[in-house]
Amino acid sequence: MMADRSTEVLAERADGAGAEELLLAQPRGFCAGVDRAIEIVERAIAQFGAPIYVRHEIVHNRFVVEDLRAKGAVFIEDLQVVPAGATVVFSAHGVSRAVRDEAQALGVRVFDATCPLVTKVHLEVERLRAQGCEIVMIGHAGHPEVEGTMGQVDGGMHLVESIADVDRLQIADPQRLAYVTQTTLSVDDAAAIVAALTQRFPQIIAPKKGDICYATQNRQDAVKFIAPMVDLLIVVGSRTSSNSNRLRELAEKRGVAAHLVDGPDDIDPNWLVGVRRVGMTAGASAPEVLVQRVVERLRELGVRSVRALDGVEENVTFKLPRGLSDDAPQ
């Protein structure tokens, strides 16, 4: 049935109906933290040989994970399955202190692919707890970044996912309270929760610099820019990707139909019926090769022209861990 409908849609495009233009948001796709994490796994495989054990998906993208698995990465959740003397990579989302201690006790070689912007939040949490502050973390329950950040200290942290959660907080000393955020949140949703926290706890300590990362901010700004121009937004990214889901939600909140796709096979031709202009972006863990495959699929479905919009040019890079850098002693 889908194939028949695809043929009908192709016929419509040939007759001059349907989407005329595809607009590509800028920036989109890989951020510096994702680039670094993938390179750490690839270099570890090249330097130490397969298998390399990766705790959790290195980034939340099915294509990336499958590609690295084919190269020799083994994705695990439990360090106990790692053989003695093997090499382990911690994912870009970060891990708790307990996981680090477990890896050390097992005697495995570890390379930490935690995004440096997540590590910044970890250090912030440690500093604030050392000063005697309770800490509110704004984030999504069950996300590995949240679990890793809250696991940097023993107690004294409260997870908040919504304004309603703020109302339920029980704080020992409101004069000694701070907050941090998951790096991949909706900027607008996080701001609303921060406003509620500040209203209830006027003395709450804010991060010196915002915790939501530059890539999350830039990609959400790009969606806000493109949304008024399009009838449909396609977000390339996996359903497990927090920042990709936030891009889809942001478009929907602005009245634009939006769909999250892992790749070209997820495109439903019915989405394009009655659509004149399509927009596309990609989450920070989605490679450009997937974007281009989706572009080609949309061309097959009759999109006539593709135009990349102007936007922020990102030039951020992060150093590799010692032992994998080009200049590291071998």
**What would the mean pLDDT of 258-264 be, rounded to a whole number?**
98
Q: Is residue 8 domain-shared with residue 84, that is, in the same domain?
A: no
CATH number at residue 291: 3.40.1010.20
Which residue in 100, 111, 202, 208 sits closest to 152, CA to CA? Answer: 100
**What would the mean pLDDT of 107-116 be, rounded to a whole number?**
98
Question: How confident is the model at residue 19, as a pLDDT?
Answer: 84
Q: Is residue 126 domain-shared with residue 104, that is, in the same domain?
A: no
Question: How confident is the model at residue 18, as a pLDDT?
Answer: 58
Least-confidence region, from 13-22, 88-97, 174-183, 191-200: 13-22
**What would the mean pLDDT of 170-197 be, rounded to a whole number?**
98
Please say if the pLDDT value at position 9 is more than 80. Answer: no
Distance CA 55, CA 141 (A): 19
**What would the mean pLDDT of 299-320 be, rounded to a whole number?**
96
Could you list the residue range(s) of the whole structural domain that residue 293 is in?
Answer: 2-30+214-308
Q: Is residue 103 domain-shared with residue 136, that is, in the same domain?
A: no
CATH number at residue 101: 3.40.50.11270
Question: Confidence class of residue 127 from pLDDT cuts 50, 70 and 90?
Answer: very high
Q: What is the DSSP letter of 26?
A: S
Question: Confidence class of residue 2 from pLDDT cuts 50, 70 and 90?
Answer: very low
Query: Which residues are marked as active site?
Result: 145
Q: Is residue 221 domain-shared with residue 294, that is, in the same domain?
A: yes
Question: How confident is the model at residue 326, as a pLDDT?
Answer: 61
CA distances from 193 to 42, 129, 166, 248, 253 (A): 39, 21, 8, 20, 17
Distance CA 186, CA 217 (A): 8
Phi/psi for 128 (5° steps) reads: -65, -40
Give 21's strand partners. 277, 305
Q: Does residue 238 belong to any structural domain of this protein? A: yes
Q: Is residue 262 domain-shared with residue 180, that is, in the same domain?
A: no
H or E element in which residue 129 lies: helix 116-130
The whole-angstrom distance between residue 93's C-alpha and the CA centroid of its chain comes to 9
Three-state DSSP class for 154? coil
- Per residue in 45-78, pLDDT (tens digit) is 999 999 999 999 999 999 999 999 999 999 999 9
Q: Does residue 328 belong to any structural domain of this protein? A: no
Q: Does residue 205 belong to any structural domain of this protein? A: no
Structure tokens at 297: 């699929």
CA distances from 5 to 2, 11, 162, 262, 328 (A): 5, 10, 41, 21, 56
Question: How confident is the model at residue 260, as a pLDDT?
Answer: 98
Number of domains in the chain: 3
Question: How confident is the model at residue 330, as a pLDDT?
Answer: 42
